[in-house]
Structure 1
Amino acid sequence: MGNPQEQTTAILERLKRYVGFETPTGDPDALADLAAVIRGDFEALGATASVDEHPTGDHLVLDFPGIGRRRDDKPLLFLAHHDTVWPKGQLERMPLVLEGDTLRGPGSYDMKAGLAIFHEALTLLGRHDLERGPIRLIVVADEEIGSPTARALIEAQVGHVSCAIGLEPPHTGGELKTSRWGSTRVRLSVVGKEAHAALAPETGISAIDELVDQLLNIRLLMRGYPSVLCNFGTVSGGGRTNVVAGTAFAEIGLRFKDAATEKVVLASLLATEPIRPGAVLTVELLSNRPAWAAGESHDALFADAVKAAKAVGQTLEGRAATGAADTNLTGGSGIPSLDGLGASGCGAHAVDEQVHIPSLAPRAQLLAAIMHTL
């Protein structure tokens, strides 16, 4: 399907341009700058663009009309994001470097390469005048913190699209992601009562002591659910060693293999009560992506992708992923879903983040075949 070297060059040039825009989650101006470029690139390929506006960053929806006999089919939904975990200035500390078969740079692997590959796939279809059904691409602005403002937009696609395909990177071995564990962030906040730690400790209520006991209880709870991954990611509170702490909080990351366990554990956490008289405990669900389990419709979509891969001389394998993404929302909502169609590489969220360049053209050809056949 065309010249792989020319495809690689085109994808690389677009990817380098996208990485040149620093887009930390929560910076609406920075996100808008790149979104404008992405919008222009895809409008040039025939997309109709709309914007889902939010104060922390707007989401971009791009609709491409069907071509040929399938123009009235339900759209294929593709999911991507343009926010990254990296702060402004990271490009100075971690510059864009092209070296051999590797491109390094913040946000390159997770997941601006997926956007560049997707553009080349559409270009290939147009160049070869291949028919396809309608396509919808949603580019999310807050995926890296659980898509709190994009969730409603994504879940609203239920019943309006035929399937959902994520442009996140594949597993490190190149396998696609055929299901995902659920991912939830919970914040425990405690308000106690300050007092002098030596002269009148009995008049105080230690928020730190309350929080520590709550975390120990959570550890005990998790022993009954060995499949759940639980990480106390942030713990903070108090201020001085001679003052009984008046406030404390912890943020907890949880990963669930299945929806049933997720439901039970979250219900237990949200029902947590204070241990100490007078302490005020708040349990807040910061973000939640439901478990997306393998099932008949998801398996059928993967089988279709395997057939499309064979048409362009590729083989595909797939397995579950412990990491979460927006396909949790589609898969958990019953939309047949598949993920990992982005570039191979490694180092997501790490200073060695990198894209494996030889994977770019084959991924574009695979995506084009999927668009043409599904």
Structure 2
Amino acid sequence: MTTMPSALVSLDIDPFAAGVLQDPLPMQAELREAGPVVHLSRHDVYALARYEHVHAALTDWQSFQSGAGVGLANFRYEKPWRPPSLLLEADPPRHDAPRAVLSKVLGPRALRRLRDAWFADAGELVEQVVAEPSFDAVTALAQAFPLRVFPDAVGLRQEGRENLLPYGDHAFNAFGPPNELVAKGVPRVPELSGWVGAQCARENLSADGFGAQIWAAADRGDITHDQAPLIVRSLLTAGVDTTVHALGAVLYAFAANPGQWERLRADPGLARVAFDEAVRWESPVQTFFRTATGDIDIAGTTIPDGKKILMFLGAANRDPRRWNAPDAFDLTRDPSAHVGFGMGLHQCVGQHVARLEAEAVLTALAARVERIELAEQPERHLNNTLRAWASMPVHVHRA
């Protein structure tokens, strides 16, 4: 039996408590200052909150395994609630072929093909939305635009698309402990999982979308026909909620920082920098787990084999050891090293799709809106993994 080194700080903190999810920043600062590795006794996991160690863990898949699950549940000992993701919850060699296929499907050629249509769509949507000076930026823009363009790109039918957000919300809640947030979603799991599973079948996908291209890769032998629906499912699980909340983050950032909005309006080419800076600043994906594949030494602390490691991406993205004035949303910063999309082998394969969606919305807004300001205090949507807004009433001044 491995004994806990006396130098290791152990804290009785629940990162999934409602108050912490509402405002995780004080806890993140406490974890960063407590040490390179902190034992969280409530869940018996090892926490990494400093940028240096989170980055190192993300890029060392051999020691920090994803295949035992990227949530609290340990697939070495527990059965997952659904078949594990071939991308998020797999390591080489099992991870390699699905990743290669999806990287190609979502590659630069695909995005070039979508760019003009998405920019036109964004212009149309923004024009409709800002016709009224006050609206909810979450429902009217952050949710509306991804749900308008992404399911079409995948090749989904129109019916049932309202299931995408609650399905993704439960999937990300399920990475945490079985708390009230998970319990709230459990009754709909059979219905939502059944609907998503059906959409991944070849016959339910259009002939020209990302889904059809994944099935074509199976026909070529790049992946198996059993893998194809699971790869389509990865798109539907991780490709909607994360983008919605990242868009919410950048809209909030601009409403709260009018000087930065002026900077974007003066140079709309900063739209992608703004999106990445918002992903660093708000970190829509706050946490992910790994599992130690052997005894791992981090800064003199041993994490025992088989133990769960909780990486605080949000804390790393505001670590003052790595970032100057980390709590400021600043378009003069180069945010490209943030870990909001992960890093290394498991880095988000759809991040360029999310960037294109954000660029389209921000470019359309910058052309039409002189000022965007919060009309009321926005309301958080709590999720065990995601940092999100439920509602964000804003007031805009037309250009």
Which range, TM-score by smaller chain? Answer: under 0.3
Q: Give the alignment's TM-score, normalised by structure 1.
A: 0.27
Q: TM-score, normalised by structure 2?
A: 0.26
Q: Which has the higher strand share?
A: 1
